Amino acid sequence: MTTNTNLNLRAEVKDLSFSYGPKKVLNRVSMPIYENRITALIGPSGCGKTTLLRCFNRMHDLYAATNYDGEILLHPEKRNVLARDVDPMEVRMRIGMVFQKPNPFPKSIFENVAYGLRVRGVRKRSFIEDRVEKSLQQAGLWSEVKDRLPSPATALSGGQQQRLCIARALATEPEILLLDEPTSALDPISTTHIEELITELKKDWTIVIVTHNLHQASRTADYTAFMYLGDLIEFDTSDKLFTTPRDPRTENYITGRFG
């Protein structure tokens, strides 16, 4: 594994194992997450990408019989978000997530973006309005929706809904943004749109993205982790991983020989 000492770490996964009941899904995974960089998780379906991503914001805590072992340290204070005494809600306040399928709430466009602020008890109207506008701008959606903020979010197209979900996650200024195959339910044009957006976002955000689209990973991600059957096989800069993979399994996967 290459560690880059010139970059700031935003988080660090250390010896992370995870199981759904008796079924072990992650095996001692370790990897760095660099600040203002995009890190992609790739690997064949079922290898544990989603599972790993959902460890970062403790989504697994919502369900019974899920077990973490190991650490995810959030820098700079190196706090282990998986520690028992850490409230999952607090973690989710700091780490945002966008899901595979766009999931806007059946509320107005405005209220969707304002949701995270509202649950944090923010009341000040002008503050919320400013933040909603800023987030929609960052998500590249502002010009399309600025005249219809009170209309239902569910009336937007799939691509717009996904950008709305990104805006919704950005509104609370999370320290890390998790994206789980954010374009897998979208058409090619919306996909390109979101990819451009993600590249744009890395100026201000640290992003971890799961994708099964290798071109997407090589185009957008600075770092890529290849996972296979719950193991992290290889982690490197995308350039190196896609041109000169060190592990034969990585090579087989990126050349399309399995998966």
**Residue where the block lists tokens 């649950």:** 119
Which does residue 25 bind out of another protein, ligand ADP, Mg ion, none, counting CB within 5 to 8 angstroms by kind? ligand ADP
Least distance from C-beta 150 to ligand ADP, angstroms? 36
d(CA 143, CA 46) in angstroms, rounded, equals 38
**How many C-beta atoms surround the C-beta of residue 104 within 10 A?**
22
| Burial label, 43 (beta-carbon count in 10 A; 0-12, 13-18, 19+) | buried
**CB closer to another protein out of 92 and 249:** 92
Choices 4-12, 46-54, 218-226, 234-242; region in contact with Mg ion by CB under 5 A: 46-54
To which H or E segment does residue 70 belong? strand 66-74
Query: Does residue number 123 form part of the binding site for another protein (CB under 8 A)?
Result: no
Cβ(156)–Cβ(104) under 8 Å?
A: yes
Of 19, 39, 50, 211, the residue at the interface with Mg ion (CB under 5 A) is 50
d(CA 151, CA 110) in angstroms, rounded, equals 8
Q: How many residues does the chain have?
A: 259
Query: Does residue number 59 form part of the binding site for another protein (CB under 8 A)?
Result: yes
Q: Segment 21-60, which members bind ligand ADP (CB under 6 A)? A: 23, 25, 43, 45-51
Choices 39-47, 59-67, 69-77, 213-221; region in contact with another protein by CB under 8 A: 59-67
Of 24, 25, 75, 99, the residue at the interface with another protein (CB under 8 A) is 99
Sheet holding 206-210, edge to edge: 95-98, 176-180, 206-210, 38-42, 223-228, 231-237
For residue 35, what are its two tokens? 């600040």
Which does residue 169 bind out of another protein, ligand ADP, Mg ion, none, counting CB within 5 to 8 angstroms by kind? another protein
The contact set with another protein (CB under 8 A) reads 57, 59, 62, 64, 89-90, 92-93, 96-97, 99, 101, 103-107, 115-116, 118-120, 152, 154, 165, 168-169, 172
Residues engaged in binding ligand ADP (CB under 6 A) = 20, 23, 25, 43, 45-51
